């Protein structure tokens, strides 16, 4: 997840193999808080966001700010002291998983008047059970996408 995903305009053709087609936004709810890389006792309030893309190694989410309670999502003073995000991701069927991650990239969207940021996060910590729940969810949506493609 080192680079931001390439986006196509709505209505643009989606030819090519499934793996080459852009994915639809997942639009899952999540909450996150920022933990300082310099002082782990410094923690922001919880903020809600929308997950746009999700994998076993990380996610992309949309937020309207890059700072929460004075803590930048990526780092404050030095890139060597990375801040961490503690995230709770709501999957369908009321399943929730938690993970700790670090921001690997972000970009400001120029489409809207209000600031909107797309933020890529690499997972650093996740329980074995949450990883299994996530894996099962990703397999289920892949099967759904394949079934829809076969009908088209």
Answer whether residue 4 is part of any domain. no
Answer whether residue 121 is part of any domain. yes
The residue to which tokens 């990239």 are assigned: 105
Q: What is the CATH number of the domain that holds 53?
A: 2.40.10.220
Q: Whole-angstrom Cα distance, residue 119 to residue 60?
A: 5
Answer whether residue 144 is part of any domain. yes
> What's the pLDDT score for residue 78?
86
> What's the pLDDT score for residue 146?
58
Look at the chain and report how many structural domains it folds into: 1
The band of 111, judged by pLDDT with boundaries at 50, 70 and 90, is: confident
| Core vs surface per residue 45-72: b (16+ CB within 10 A) or e | eebebebbbbeeebbbbbbeebebeebb
> What's the pLDDT score for residue 28?
94
> What's the pLDDT score for residue 144?
60
> What's the pLDDT score for residue 113?
76
Q: What is the pTM of this model?
A: 0.76
The band of 94, judged by pLDDT with boundaries at 50, 70 and 90, is: confident
In which domain, by residue range, is 107 found?
A: 20-151
> What's the pLDDT score for residue 145?
56
Answer whether residue 1 is part of any domain. no
Q: Which residues pair with 32 in a beta bridge?
A: 47, 87
E-strand stretches of 12-74 = 28-35, 47-54, 58-63, 67-68, 71-72
Q: Is 117 exposed, middle or buried (0-12, 13-18, 19+ CB in 10 A)?
A: middle
Q: Is 20 or 137 the better-scoring residue by pLDDT?
A: 137
Answer whether residue 7 is part of any domain. no
Answer whether residue 15 is part of any domain. no
Answer whether residue 14 is part of any domain. no
Q: Which residues pair with 80 in a beta bridge?
A: none
Q: Is 11 or 126 the better-scoring residue by pLDDT?
A: 126
């Amino acid at each position: 997840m080192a680079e931001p995903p390439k986006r196509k305009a709505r209505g643009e053709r989606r030819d090519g193999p499934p793996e080459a087609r852009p994915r639809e936004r997942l639009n899952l709810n999540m909450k996150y808080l920022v933990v300082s890389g310099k002082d782990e006792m410094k923690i922001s309030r919880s903020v809600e966001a929308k997950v746009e893309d999700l994998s076993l190694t990380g996610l992309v989410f949309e937020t309207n700010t890059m700072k929460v309670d004075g803590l930048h999502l990526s780092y404050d003073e030095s890139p060597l002291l990375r801040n961490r995000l503690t995230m709770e991701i709501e999957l369908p069927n009321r399943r929730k998983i938690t993970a700790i991650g670090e921001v690997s990239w972000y970009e400001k969207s120029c489409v809207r008047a209000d600031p909107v940021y797309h933020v890529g996060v690499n997972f650093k910590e996740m329980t074995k059970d949450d990883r299994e729940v996530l894996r099962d969810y990703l397999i289920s949506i892949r099967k759904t996408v394949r079934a829809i493609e076969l009908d088209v």
